[in-house]
Structure 1
Amino acid sequence: MSTPAELADWQHELGGVLIGAGTDVQVRAIEGLGQPPVRTSDVEPPSEDGLWIGRDYYGGRTIRIDAAIRVIGQPGGVLDRLAALQDMADTPAVRGAGGTTMDLRLKFPGRPARTVRGRLRKLEPDLTQMVHGFAPLDIEFQAQDHLFYDDTTGTTSIPLGLLTSGGLTFPLMFPFTIAGDPRAVGRPGFLEVAGTAPAWPVLRVNGPCANPTITHVASGRALTVQTTLAAGEWVEVDTRPGWRTVLRDNGGAAPLTPKSRIDEFVLQPGLNELQWTATDPTLTSTLAVTWWPTYKAL
């Protein structure tokens, strides 16, 4: 996974192309960064005043960017910038399958860069002034959800059969301290998750093992994959909405047990504990956990 480019304040990146401050694509305004669209289930009670307030669901936010391409005296440069902006959206990796997305990265003062995942839905230039190297530009980006993501992922690796670390060594030397905070001793099953919203992890079990079970201790939610892995083989459980797949290294699928709810397996902001078990006489298999810190707002 490549490292994202560093962004300056008021500079953004659409499909790998820099826009905003210090670039040839000026950004005049951005809309759609506040509260996302809401799907309500409100009901008007018959023969009665008022409203029964039901459960609310957020839709994917639509971000509109009022911009302009400005490359003075270079009419061809306007078309070059326009082509670059639509290039990523036209790749099979983005539009060639359901659920695939591209990134819109945003950088505002006082915040690190945040990423929105979705697809480019509108890129409409006004070419009437192109001869002067100037073209107003309407951009519309449809996000797959209402959330903002960190540029960088959180990762950890958890060996099989290692539930804790530390302990006491005799003879004891006084005074001594027992660390009640698992962060103090670096216990491998504990994950410190940044952000303000739950994060959906990607869980990869590396063999050799059979029938691995991964448990989120606080919630009690568990995922059991019904498969056998030889050394060098792996199975990956992707819990992210829009994906939610269980795939093996050979491209085939692997089943979960009926009680495994992939749609409820999330990491909460703060400290999380994961435990996992599997049949592995060698005790050499590992669990790799990857997540993107997630934010409800910029």
Structure 2
Amino acid sequence: MPDLDLADWQYDLGGVLIGKGTSVVLVETTGLGRPPVRDNDVDQPSMDGQWAGPDYWAARQVQFDAYIKIPGQPDACYDLVATLQAASDAAAVRLVGGQGMTLRIKRPGTPVKRLTGRMRKLDPEYAQVIHGKVPLDIEFVAHDPQFYADTETTTELPLGWLTGGGFAAPVRAPIHVQDGTVAADRPGWVTNNGDADAWPVIRVTGPCTNVTITHVASGRSLALPTLTLAAGRWVELDTRPGYRTVTWDNGGNASAYLSPGSRIDLFSLPPGTSEMRWTAFDNTNSARMRLTWRDAYIAL
């Protein structure tokens, strides 16, 4: 189902439009600023004060103080509460670890941004429902507190046979061209237009073997030295928080192919433009690597 179009001060809560111009009036929204912190501060023994440990972001709790307003239509109020409840009741989200529903947010002068999480509270008060008014207490918990772009960015990098990207004049014999017995490599560029680290989903499609993916600036790499992909088959490396999996095209677990030194939990795209490079053995020049990510933001 396509995403809903949002106007300023509107929200898409799991496919239900709320906020300005809708039947769900928002009185106050909290939790969209700095996320809570999990601190590791420790009291200094036999001294005043504390030692400041590393701070980690906790889950972001977004709370809506709202009410349904459909004058003279209590049945429509009940139906709208049921629609909101159904948005959080999908078994594919509720019963699957790591899965979440989407909260999309539109503010004046900024593009739509989104959070992924779970609806943890939906409490209606029916005392005034006969008049077509139902106060709501809604809580949405985003386990990854960063805001993300509403649209995905995708780039595809093929393998190149020429090691240096071409010939440099003057050309002198012998000329060495890769024939599939040496790992080919192909540089490419990706851009995270946000101001926080973005997390790519990386798909490598065969035929190829011995795959290594490197983020050049940081030197971090993901190596699958024993992987062999037949033509048309692929593996997907999902670096997103809450996922961080390596899977086959049939849904099987391929994490055993990842080398012990590969840190999928650190393989992010920093703000700005980054060079990506991948190597593999491929004597057909038809293997491909595709990166898909959402630009990441600290704030709305």
1:4 counterpart residue number: 3
> Partner residue of 1:233?
233
Deviates more, 1:250-259 or 1:14-23: 250-259
| Of 280, 292, 295, the match for 2:294 | 292
Equivalent pairs: percent with the same residue? 53
Code of the aligned partner of 1:232: G
| Structure 1 Cα separation of the partners of residues 279 and 166 of structure 2 | 20
Equivalent residues, number? 281
Moved over 4 A (4+): 162-170
Higher strand share: 2
Aligned twin of 1:82: 81
The equivalent residue for 1:174 is: none
Residue pair 2:192, 2:296 contacting (<8 A) in 1 also: no
In structure 2, what is the equivalent of residue 175 of structure 1?
Answer: none
RMSD of aligned alpha carbons: 1.8
Q: Secondary structure at the match of 2:218?
A: coil
Instruction: After TM superposition, list the pairs within 5 Å mapping 1:1-298 onto structure 2.
Output: 3-161=2-160, 189-225=188-224, 226-254=226-254, 255=256, 256-298=258-300
* C-alpha separation in 1, matches of 2:11 and 2:164: 43
2:43 partner SS: coil
5+ residue gaps in structure 2?
A: 171-185
Alpha-carbon shift at residue 167 of structure 1 (Å)? 7.9
Give the structure-1-normalised TM-score: 0.90
Relative to 1, partners in 2 of residues 1:167 and 1:65: Cα closer, same or farther, differing over 3 Å?
Answer: farther
Describe the superposition over 1:259-298 as per-residue Cα deviations: whole angstroms up to 9, x where unpaired. 1111111101101011001111111000000011111111
C-alpha distance 160-102 of structure 1, shift in aligned 2 (>3 A): same
Measured after TM superposition, the shift of residue 165 of structure 1 is: 5.9
Q: Does the CA-based 8 Å contact 2:4-2:17 persist in structure 1?
A: no
1:90-116 deviation line (CA, Å, top 9, x unaligned) = 111111211000011111112111101
TM-score normalised by the chain length of structure 2: 0.89
Is the CA contact 1:64–1:138 (under 8 Å) kept in the aligned structure 2? yes
CA distance change for structure 1 residues 252 and 164 in 2, over 3 Å: closer, same or farther?
same
**Inter-partner Cα distance in structure 2 for 1:231 and 1:271:** 31
**Residue 74 of structure 2 contacts residue 131 of structure 2 at CA under 8 Å; is this kept in 1?**
yes
Once the 2 structures are TM-superposed, how far is the Cα of residue 168 of structure 1 from its aligned partner?
Answer: 7.7
CA contact (8 A) 2:187 2:278 kept: no
Ranges in structure 1 where 5+ consecutive residues have no aligned partner: 171-186
Partner amino acid for 2:245? T
